[in-house]
Structure formats: structure tokens, C-alpha cells
């Protein structure tokens, strides 16, 4: 059953536009949508954020903080029928899907949200638009039936989306290559970007997911525009180019992680409950020299094998730099624990200068601390945007999806990254114990970490470029910055989009009491 808390607030707010946000259920998609919800609500927009019980529990702190400060954000908590789908109870987020074959069930389950969401929306006096994650193509027909505009949100940068689009349109370039490891130039880009077929993103190409791919492409074509978690100064050529080739309206409103940037509580409460007290973490960092600590974290979905984790740890130890290493819940194993915690083991040897976090880390709070000087990352877009926002150089270690493209943006276009040099992609959803691709040895990790944190003149220039980008990111989000203005434009543009014949009139101005009928 849906949980629809009452909306408090002055009556003026009740005639505000009403945006419905439908995130994909994975940290990398939920977290920026929650930020977008708060940014919109700060502008007086009424926001309904679609979620499920497990996702709501993970996000509750962030939303409750927003509600406590009077922001009109509400959860629309819909049931996710795991048992009916043949999924384990509570399997409501991509990171909780236990095996690759279950991913298809998980994706199938998403469209079951349509009926309860429709029922909720039909009870509303006003729905101004739906901002839907690309992974919910079913929102297309829902928006059409309700006669409201549907905007797309991909959770990635514009560079990656443009690369993906161009690769799709020139699929023969990819298909003609018999060597999947041979680099080729991505067609139609303002820069010369090389990638291999192995590294090219292949959303929904796993067996059984093909139908989602065509649905996603269709839903993309018919959207009224695209909301990006990026900023104009970061990738102006790509935003421009994407707008031209897609003919779509584009709103770059990020980096949304800079929402309420100064509030440590907000920075720490992102995506899930941290496994470590953020105050402890931050006071540990307080005791380190400025720019001295390496932060190592590979997002929420990329799992490393025990032997890879051990190589990473040994490489970090040998580099001599202080570090924070995140080992997520799915990566924990007796083998890793033994290596970490035995007497004379890794944690004991490095305890003067290391912190190992087992589980969810308060990543944004850590990255924003001045003691952190470099980020070893899988190049998920949120992590990348967070590093850019914090003005940090990155050691890029992509796993799958568009992460290899993000690596190219960070290294080749922005000049703020060093590659670890992985050539093969990992398989999404493969359990942590399985060897999925090349093992990166400790010597390689050590050398790459040294390059990131030292790196001579080049390293210094990388750090300066990264610091400058961080300043630009913060400026974009400040009052009258480019993203701030784009957010205002987004709200204005939605208000001007002509409503279609609709059971819920998107811009019902007739009713003085207006508001949302639960």
C-alpha cells in the first residue's frame, strides 16, 4: 500500500506545479533523483517521489530532513511484488538482485508499478510532468494517457549519452570490427575519443533484456526533453551537440550532489545508512594533512573478487599514502576478513594511516573533506560528478555500462584522471566470488596510486585542473549559476508545455484550493 503523508505548508504552495519523479531503484539513480526532488521543492515545486518500501527506508533520512525543513516532497511508496516475480523478499534495488538471471525478473517487475502509480496520479488535482528514469519505459504510455509531459533522466553525463547515441546510429562501425579489443574512434564527436567494442556500453544486451532496449530507445525518442546531472561549463560541446542531434530540450541542473553543500548531515545521509559514523570518519580525516588521503570506493553495483580486493589493499599499503578503503557488504567474505583482521594482518599493519569501511560509506562527506587528495573510482557518473564537485583528480577503474566512456571524459577531455588500465568489462550482477576479468596486480595499483597522488608536474597540473573544475561546479549551482538558472528554466518550460487532454489537468488554475488530493 502506498504511503502518502499529508502535505503541510502555506496554501500558496498548494497551487504550485507538481512534478512526479520516478527513479530507477539503484543507488546511482535514487541518490540524484532525491537531490533533484529537494532542489525542485526548494523552488516551491510540489514533488512526489516514487519509491518502494526498501528504497524508502534507505532514502528516508534524506527525505525526512527535507520535510523537516518544510520542503514539499512526499514519498509515493508503491508495493514491489517480489514473491510474485520470483525474487527474494525485499529484492527492491539493483544491488540486492542475487544473480544475473534474476535481473530480468527485476526489470519485468518495474512495469508493475504502473497501475498503482496511475491510481495515485488520477487522484491528484494536478500533475505537471513526470521525470522518469530511462529504466522505466512504461512511464511513456502512462504519461501519454494522463496527458502530461514526460522528461527523461538517464543518471549519466551528456558525453556518455551522446557517445551511446552515436554508437547506436553507427552500429556498423562496431559490428564490422572482428577484434573486440581493437580501439576505434567514436563517430560524430567534437573530440577524438577511442574505445574498444569490449568497453562500449551495451545497455540491456544481456540475454533476455533485449526487449527493454528497444522500449528504452522508443521512450527516449518520445520524451519532451532530458534532465542531466551535469553542468554547462563541464561539457558544453556535448550538451550543444546532443541538443542538435536529438532535437530535444536539455536541462543541465547539476552537479546535484552539491545540493545543500554546506550541511554535513545532508552530505552524509545519501543513499543508505552508513556503516561507519560519519563524525568518526570526518574526525579521522581531520587528523590528516590536506590533500594526503586516497579514497577508494567502487560504487554500489561493482563487485571485486577477494583476490582483487587483496591486490588493491596491498598496492595501497605499498604506495605509502594514507587511505580509506571501502569494502561493500556484497564483497565481504571469510577470505577477505581473514586477510584484513588477522593478527599482523592488513588492518593492523596499516592502522596508523588507513580506515577500512565495511559496507556503505558516507562518500560525499568523505570526498568533500579537504584531507582527501585523490579518488580511486569505478567511474559511475555520480561518483565522477562528486569527485568533480570536490575538485579531486581520479584514478579511473571502470567496470561496465557507460563507465568506460566516463573514463574517457575524465582522462581525455577533462584531463583530471589517470587510468588503471583495465581492458575488459566486468559482468553486472555476477557474484563477488567469481573471477570475471583480468586481475590488476598490486604493483600496478601501487604505481597508479603514486601517479595519482604524486605524478610530478603532470600530477600537479591534473590537481590544478581538478580544483578549477570543482570551483566551476560550485559556481554553477550557486544563485544565478548556470545550473541554478537551468533549474528555473526547467520549471518554467514545464509550465509552458501545452497540456494534452487529461483526466488530471496539469495546470488546473480554476480551483482556488488546488492542491493534491490524496
Which residue ranges make up the site for ligand UDP (CB under 6 A)?
26-28, 31, 270-271, 297, 299-302, 326, 360-361, 363-364, 380-383, 386
Q: Which is nearer to ligand UDP, 379 or 491 (CB)?
A: 379
Q: Which is nearer to ligand UDP, 130 or 330 (CB)?
A: 330
**Which three cell numbers mark 302?**
561493482
Q: Which is nearer to ligand UDP, 28 or 149 (CB)?
A: 28
Least distance to ligand UDP, CB of residue 386, Å: 5
How far apart CA 299 and CA 326 sit, in angstroms, is 9
Q: Which is nearer to ligand UDP, 19 or 298 (CB)?
A: 298
Q: Which is nearer to ligand UDP, 184 or 323 (CB)?
A: 323
Q: In the sheet that 226-228 helps form, which strands lie side by side, from edge to edge?
A: 73-77, 46-51, 18-22, 129-133, 150-153, 226-228, 250-252
Least distance to ligand UDP, CB of residue 347, Å: 18
**Distance from chain centroid for Cα 55:** 15
Residue 344: CA count within 13 A, CB half-sphere = 0
Contacts 24+ apart (CB under 8 A), 95-102: 95/26, 95/27, 95/300, 95/301, 95/330, 96/54, 97/429, 98/431, 99/429, 99/431, 100/206, 100/427, 100/428, 100/429, 100/430, 101/208, 102/429
Least distance to ligand UDP, CB of residue 478, Å: 21
Residue 395: CA count within 13 A, CB half-sphere = 26
How far apart CA 395 and CA 237 sit, in angstroms, is 24
**Which three cell numbers mark 154?**
538517464
Least distance to ligand UDP, CB of residue 338, Å: 22
Strands (E) in 222-322, as ranges, are 226-228, 250-252, 293-297
Least distance to ligand UDP, CB of residue 80, Å: 19
Least distance to ligand UDP, CB of residue 271, Å: 5
Buried b (16+ CB within 10 A) or exposed e, 73-86: bbbbbbebebeebe
CA dihedral 161, 167, 169, 171 (to 10 degrees): -150
Q: Which is nearer to ligand UDP, 317 or 386 (CB)?
A: 386
Residue spans of alpha helices (H) in 176-258: 210-221, 236-246
CA dihedral 130, 134, 135, 140 (to 10 degrees): 50
Strands 184-185 and 194-195: antiparallel
Q: Which is nearer to ligand UDP, 476 or 516 (CB)?
A: 476
Q: Which is nearer to ligand UDP, 386 or 451 (CB)?
A: 386
Q: Which is nearer to ligand UDP, 46 or 325 (CB)?
A: 325
How far apart CA 458 and CA 411 sit, in angstroms, is 12
Q: Is the CB of residue 55 less than 8 Å from the CB of residue 25?
A: yes
Least distance to ligand UDP, CB of residue 400, Å: 9
Least distance to ligand UDP, CB of residue 219, Å: 20
H or E element in which residue 375 lies: strand 372-377
Q: Which is nearer to ligand UDP, 238 or 397 (CB)?
A: 397
Least distance to ligand UDP, CB of residue 297, Å: 5
Least distance to ligand UDP, CB of residue 155, Å: 7
Cis-peptide, bond into residue 491, ω within 30° of zero: no
Q: Name residues whose C-beta falls within 8 Å of residue 206's C-beta, 6 or more positions apart in sequence.
A: 100, 103, 104, 428
Least distance to ligand UDP, CB of residue 280, Å: 15
Q: Which is nearer to ligand UDP, 340 or 491 (CB)?
A: 340
Amino acid at each position: 500500500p502506498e504511503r502518502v503523508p499529508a502535505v503541510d505548508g502555506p496554501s500558496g504552495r498548494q497551487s504550485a506545479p507538481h512534478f512526479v519523479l520516478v527513479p530507477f531503484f539503484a543507488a546511482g539513480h535514487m541518490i540524484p533523483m532525491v537531490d533533484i526532488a529537494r532542489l525542485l521543492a526548494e523552488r516551491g515545486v510540489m514533488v512526489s517521489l516514487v519509491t518502494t518500501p526498501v528504497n524508502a527506508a534507505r532514502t528516508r533520512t534524506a527525505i525526512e530532513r527535507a520535510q523537516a525543513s518544510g520542503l514539499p516532497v512526499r514519498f509515493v511508496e508503491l508495493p514491489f511484488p517480489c514473491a510474485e516475480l520470483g525474487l527474494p523478499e525485499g529484492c527492491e534495488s539493483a544491488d540486492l538482485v542475487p544473480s544475473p538471471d534474476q535481473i530480468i525478473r527485476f526489470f519485468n517487475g518495474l512495469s508493475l508499478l504502473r497501475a498503482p502509480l496511475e491510481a495515485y496520479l488520477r487522484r491528484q488535482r494536478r500533475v505537471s510532468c513526470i521525470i522518469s528514469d530511462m529504466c522505466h519505459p512504461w512511464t511513456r504510455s502512462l504519461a501519454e494517457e494522463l496527458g502530461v509531459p514526460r522528461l527523461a533522466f538517464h543518471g549519466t553525463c551528456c558525453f556518455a549519452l551522446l557517445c551511446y547515441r552515436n554508437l547506436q546510429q553507427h552500429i556498423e562501425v562496431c559490428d564490422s570490427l572482428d577484434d573486440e579489443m581493437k580501439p576505434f574512434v567514436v563517430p560524430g564527436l567534437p573530440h577524438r575519443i577511442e574505445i574498444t567494442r569490449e568497453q562500449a556500453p551495451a545497455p540491456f544486451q544481456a540475454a533476455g533484456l533485449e526487449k527493454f532496449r528497444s522500449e528504452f530507445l522508443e521512450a527516449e525518442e518520445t520524451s519532451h526533453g532530458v534532465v542531466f546531472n551535469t553542468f554547462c561549463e563541464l561539457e558544453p560541446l556535448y550538451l550543444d551537440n546532443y541538443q542538435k542531434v536529438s532535437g530535444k530540450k536539455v536541462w543541465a541542473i547539476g552537479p546535484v550532489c552539491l545540493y545543500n553543500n554546506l550541511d554535513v548531515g545532508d552530505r552524509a545521509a545519501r543513499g543508505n545508512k552508513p556503516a561507519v559514523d560519519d563524525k568518526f570518519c570526518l574526525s579521522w580525516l581531520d587528523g590528516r594533512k590536506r590533500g594526503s588521503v586516497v579514497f577508494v570506493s567502487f560504487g554500489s553495483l561493482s563487485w571485486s573478487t577477494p583476490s582483487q580486493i587483496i591486490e588493491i589493499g596491498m598496492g595501497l599499503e605499498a604506495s605509502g599514502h594514507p587511505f580509506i578503503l571501502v569494502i561493500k557488504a556484497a564483497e565481504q567474505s571469510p577470505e577477505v576478513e581473514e586477510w584484513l583482521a588477522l593478527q599482523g594482518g592488513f588492518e593492523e599493519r596499516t592502522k596508523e594511516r588507513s580506515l577500512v569501511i565495511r559496507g556503505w560509506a558516507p562518500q560525499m562527506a568523505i570526498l568533500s573533506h579537504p584531507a582527501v587528495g585523490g579518488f580511486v573510482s569505478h567511474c559511475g557518473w555520480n561518483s565522477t560528478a562528486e569527485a568533480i564537485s570536490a575538485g579531486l583528480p581520479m584514478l579511473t577503474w571502470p567496470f561496465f555500462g557507460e563507465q568506460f566512456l566516463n573514463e574517457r571524459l575524465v582522462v581525455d577531455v577533462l584531463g583530471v584522471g589517470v587510468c588503471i588500465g583495465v581492458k575488459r568489462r566486468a559482468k553486472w550482477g555476477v557474484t563477488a566470488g567469481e573471477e570475471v576479468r583480468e586481475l590488476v596486480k598490486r604493483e600496478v595499483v601501487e604505481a597508479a596510486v603514486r601517479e595519482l597522488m604524486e605524478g610530478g608536474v603532470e600530477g600537479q597540473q591534473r590537481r590544478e585542473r581538478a580544483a578549477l573544475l570543482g570551483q566551476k561546479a560550485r559556481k554553477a549551482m550557486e544563485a544565478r549559476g548556470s545550473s541554478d538558472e537551468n533549474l528555473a528554466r526547467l520549471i518554467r518550460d514545464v509550465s509552458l508545455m501545452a497540456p494534452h487532454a487529461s483526466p488530471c489537468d496539469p495546470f488546473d488554475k480554476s480551483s482556488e484550493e488546488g492542491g493534491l488530493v490524496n
